[in-house]
Amino acid sequence: MSTYRLNKSRKILQSAYDWYKKKKDKMAPETVKNLEERMLGLEQAIKSDNREEASNLAKKLEEFSDVNFKKTFFEYCFEVVTAILIALILAVIVRQMWFELYEIPTGSMRPTFREQDHVTVTKTPFGINIPMTTGHFLFEPDLVHRIGVVTFTSEGIKDLDEDTMFMYVIPYKKRLIKRLMGKPGDILYFYGGKIYGVDKEGNPIEEYLQSPWLTNLEHIPFMSFAGSMTFPNHTEVIFHQMNEPIGKLTFKNSRDFVGEVFDGTKWIPDNPSAQKTPHNSIQSYSDFWGIRNFAMARLLTKSEMQEMGDVDLSSIPEGVLYLELRHTPSLTYPKPLIFKDMGYNLMLNPFRTYIPLQQHHLDALMDHMYTARLVFQNGRVARYSVDRSRFDQGSPSFPGVPDGTYEFYNGKIVKIGRGAITYEVEADNPLYSHDPKNVQKLFNLGIEVNTAFQPHGKYQLYYPSRYAYFRNGDLYLLGGSILKKDDPVLSEFNKKEETKEKNSTSEKPYIAFKDNGPPLKDGKYDIDFIRSFGLHIPEKQYLMLGDNHAMSSDSRAFGFVPEANLQGAPSLIIWPPGERWGVPSQKPYQLFNFPRMIVWSLVALSLLIWYLLHRRYLHRPITIK
């Protein structure tokens, strides 16, 4: 048998001594005397640093304790409950104020974080949290980084405040992880999938365009043209973007209504024709934040275009498929659509235009194709869910694709195995096909992966979360330049759009979908323009956007996040192994800062106090009365 270390012998001695003080009055005198002799002998051997003798005596004392110091059921339950409570309290303090492990449940932050990623989250990059609630003991706004990833609580946020359980025991509010893209006082304008901004002092925020952590990301200022709607009374509908009221319909009767936008001080008539000429204040719904720079897109066949009814096919050159662009929404013209048979649902009815695409355009699309994480089963597909992927009547069909979970990103497909480890997919996988039918299906299913988003008539409620925009003359789809500015197809499209806009009337205006250019003047930030049309971040509020804009419920839906809700920041991806393992793609937070030093000091002090108390406990003298 092995020889005990002196420290272990001390622990056995002190444990027996504790039992002795509690039980001696209930034991026989001979037993008490025997125990006292054993303890005193062991104490002397320990003082003499006689490890072997101390080990032998400690083992005999252990045997004695096993026979005479059996715990009662009550004592056993009391110790277990006490240990659980202490462990729970320590876990709460550590996980709320120091660090925590997260598992990413959705793809809203792809490619930075993907479903089933395990990450460590530090709780001290910019403050010290009050456990189990919002708010901070200490908060340093200057330590909060734009373009840094943060975690925050949903508590008190409209349409987001969700109950859950912390450690499966304590009632809790759901936590989210997003990229912080705007600080209090910032004014932001969206163009070309990028953000142009100025801070509260009017200084350009250059990092939005220069940061290496945003190189492969694109940002869209809306999720759908209508955003969210509220109905304050039976004659009004308010349209919200970023959870801010920006548009209003006031019904005079069942068919006639007035459309207005909020210019920051008052409601004014929505004037879509203002988009034809330069102006310096909000005049139309599309003026807000650069909405007019973006279109919602889908791919149509020629027969599907014919179903639109109002498309002059003779004016559109032949294409393999046709890119439909829905753009420049207004509350005045084209008039919003009312679906009376569906409970008076409203849908903004933007302008439509079409671009014929050839096979090389579809090839470029496939080189940038991305979807949600997909689960294939018996030739059908559903979007991946950490709970359970749902197959229903809306689940699309993909014959020939082997069963399994796949991820399509930037034109590359990987298969997801156990533990979220990825594997390359064979080049002959049917998903890789550049056949127009396959390209159209993948594009039009979008992130939603439901047949309700596929084309089925002129007016439909659901459109895929696919977006198009110009950047420096090129037309972008799926984050990539699909039609270059010198592409004859795009050149012809631009000419026709210009002519169509020029020939339209004030009664029936048409606004061209064109490259309006970034908010620059003489090569520098046009600060007056950004202040007039940009998104203003209120004091003590922050803008949170998901890296995967197409499937991210973020500030575009629930609005700005209060300062008190900020909780921490991810620091490491610890699973799965691969090229993304380690520090995530974000501007690093300071390793040494005031909040972090306070928490680390408290941890060090607590460990020191525990060590001293534990040492004192082990070296207590044995007192026999």
The predicted-structure confidence for 148-175, as pLDDT tens digits, reads as follows 999 999 888 887 777 776 666 777 778 8
pLDDT confidence bin for 462, thresholds 50/70/90: confident
The closest alpha carbon to 370, from 520, 140, 549, belongs to: 549
- pLDDT at position 168 is 66
- pLDDT at position 290 is 97
Contact 474, 484 (CB under 8 A): yes
Question: What is d(CA 346, CA 171) in angstroms, rounded to the nearest whole number?
Answer: 37
Question: What is d(CA 558, CA 108) in angstroms, rounded to the nearest whole number?
Answer: 15
Q: Tell me how far CA of residue 540 lies from CA of 14, 17, 33, 182, in angstroms.
A: 55, 57, 70, 11
Determine the number of helices (DSSP H) and then strands (DSSP E) in the chain: 12, 34
Q: Specify the 3-state DSSP secondary structure of 345.
A: strand
- pLDDT at position 1 is 62
Q: Is this model's pTM higher than 0.85 or not?
A: yes
CB-facing half-sphere around the CA of 202: CA atoms within 13 A: 7
Crossing angle, helix 29-47 and helix 51-68, to 10 degrees? Answer: 150
| Of the listed ranges 81-90, 334-343, 514-523, the one predicted with least confidence | 334-343
Domain positions in the chain are: 6-70, 228-520
Quote the tokens at residue 125: 């990059």
507-522 b/e (C-beta count within 10 Å ≥ 16 → b): eebbbbbbbbebbeee
The closest alpha carbon to 480, from 409, 533, 585, belongs to: 409
| Of the listed ranges 121-125, 318-322, 503-507, the one predicted with least confidence | 503-507
Contact 147, 213 (CB under 8 A): yes
CB-facing half-sphere around the CA of 488: CA atoms within 13 A: 3
The closest alpha carbon to 243, from 215, 223, 270, belongs to: 223
- pLDDT at position 234 is 85
What one-character-per-residue DSSP string does 64-123 give?
HHHHH-PPPHHHHHHHHHHHHHHHHHHHHHHHHHTEEEEE--SSTTTTTS-TT-EEEEES
Question: What is d(CA 604, CA 602) in angstroms, rounded to the nearest whole number?
Answer: 5
pLDDT confidence bin for 438, thresholds 50/70/90: very high
Higher confidence at residue 89 or residue 241? 241
- pLDDT at position 193 is 97
Q: Average pLDDT of the chain?
A: 91
pLDDT confidence bin for 393, thresholds 50/70/90: confident
pLDDT confidence bin for 282, thresholds 50/70/90: very high
Question: What is d(CA 320, CA 360) in angstroms, rounded to the nearest whole number?
Answer: 10
Higher confidence at residue 277 or residue 171? 277
The number of beta carbons lying within 10 Å of the beta carbon of residue 105 is: 14
Map tokens 């691969």 to a residue.
Answer: 578
Q: Is 386 a residue whose pLDDT tops 90? A: no
| pLDDT tens, residue by residue, 339-353 | 655 455 788 999 999
Q: CATH says 6-70 is which class?
A: mainly alpha
Rounded percentage of the chain residues whose pLDDT exceeds 90: 68
Written as one letter, the residue type at 618 is L
- pLDDT at position 342 is 44
- pLDDT at position 576 is 92
Q: Is 190 a residue whose pLDDT tops 70? A: yes
- pLDDT at position 344 is 55
Q: Is 402 a residue whose pLDDT tops 60? A: yes
The number of beta carbons lying within 10 Å of the beta carbon of residue 186 is: 22
Q: Checking DSSP bridges between strand 524-525 and strand 520-521, what pairing results, if any?
A: antiparallel
Please state the rounded mean pLDDT for residues 29-34: 89
| pLDDT tens, residue by residue, 569-582 | 999 999 999 888 99
